[in-house]
Chain A
Amino acid sequence: MTYDDIIALIAKETGLPAERLVPDATLATLDIASLDLVSLLFELEDRYGVEIQPEELSRETTLRQLLERIGVTAPQ
């Protein structure tokens, strides 16, 4: 599970181009709908065994925070 793996997964589940998935973007600025978010969390658990509850995240959560929670480090 690398940074690129996770970015590719987020891109697939949200339909967003990977170049928009910069570490400081928030779920709100990326306009990630709750349906896409629960699908992303489902795939993370399914593929990588990472369990995250939707309640742990907010609209203001950044991708950097999400990646840290998953256990991969975003480039500075």
Chain B
Amino acid sequence: MTDRQNRRVLVTGMGCVSGLGRGVAANWQRLRDGDGAIRPLVPPAPSGIAAWIEGGPGDSARFAGIDAQRLRRLGRLDPISAFAIEAALEAVADAGLPEHPSLAHLTAILLGCGSGGNATIDAGYERLFGRDEARVHPQSIPSSMITAPAAHIAILLGVHGPVFTLSSACASSAHALGEAMHMIRSGRVDVVIAGGAEACLTRGSMAGWQSLGVLAPDTCRPFSRDRGGMVLGEGAAVLVLESERHALARGAHVYGELAGYGATSDASHITAPNTAGIAAALRTAHEDAGTAFDVPALISAHGTGTALNDVAETTALHEVYAADLPRHRVIATKSAHGHMIGATGAMEFLLGMVALNEGVAPPILNYLGADPDCELPLVLERENISPDVLISSSFAFGGLNAVLVGKRA
């Protein structure tokens, strides 16, 4: 315990881009105001609804302050890389770390992505199978590889420490933050640029999701009666995590602490959620953070809005918190920014930390009325809150669960 206290992991920078907007301030304002981003896609995007990003992926004009010679080395950017870079540059600037000597050798980059460059892969297949062309673009592989966004950020910022991407479907960036926390606790690095990105609103990816039958026809209604499923989003969320020693030594602004992480695998079914696995992840995270179950918390639920997930999550929350559940408040921000797949765990943790700092819980949107199987202390209207603890949950396909515990500074 003493070691762990010596290596507390603090959040010192944040950045994001989603259907709600570009940058943490814009995202938070729309979330707080209940102004969701889910709407019909417009051509040339495939038909359907999603929380899509107005203006699409950023270009080099948005990467302010970056040396043109470094930009040249990135090659072609799939939207997933453009989103990741935009969020990472915001987070690193927010942390006051650009050009900091620690970036070179005391820093890691760990991103979570559910898939790679879908637009690049779609474009290649369209050439091959749609137009019967023999060749695809020479940069198809480096642009679409799942680790490209992490590598791109490393090249731009000159990070020479450990840099990689991990993938656990819809929990990818929650796992990335949790594993990043352990990299700092163990003393491997002082800083981790951690988060996730996804750019899955392409024809090929959307067709896959539609065929699976989990997408809502109208909108995302977490824990509501008559909920019709999930709605996809896109974008990236990146946080700067830092050892307490390093952050204090340079006088960094501190948003709070990433205090605990619980990761479990259901080992039961490739898509169906499992109450025992979810409950185990919640309990493990609490234990890791040293946070009792009765300490009032803001619970940022996985809350996809699918029939099965919301019931399984509700059941697990009752199992874990039992009589203490009414002490907590439950939010479900996918109703605003959509399911950002690999990016969503980091996005929800980031927004939850802002909510703790602001003392405001954002409303769950599109709620039609109670489902007796989803009785929870839901935040249905924006409300002022006072918890110091955030519980941010991600329960992914494959039965891969990650729960993060945040604490206000």
Residues of A within 8 A of B (CB): 14-17, 33, 35-36, 38-39, 42
Contacts and interface: CB of A to CB of B under 8 A. Distances in A.
A42 B71 contact: no
A39 B72 contact: no
Contacts, number: 23
Nearest to B68: A15
B72 A16 contact: yes
A15 B142 contact: no
B43 interface: no
Contacts of B68: 15, 17
Given A35-B139, A36-B75, A42-B135, 16 more contacts: A14-B72, A15-B68, A15-B72, A16-B72, A17-B68, A33-B72, A33-B73, A35-B75, A35-B138, A35-B142, A36-B72, A39-B76, A39-B137, A39-B138, A39-B139, A42-B138
Interface of B: 68, 71-73, 75-76, 135, 137-139, 142
A17 B75 CA distance: 15
6 contacts: A15-B68, A15-B72, A33-B73, A35-B75, A36-B72, A42-B135
Contacts of B76: 39
A19 to B, nearest CB: 13
A16 B135 CA distance: 26
Q: Looking at B68, B75, B142, which has the most chain A CB atoms within 10 Å of its CB?
A: B75
B71 A38 contact: no
Contacts of B139: 35, 39
A33 B135 CA distance: 21
Nearest to B60: A15
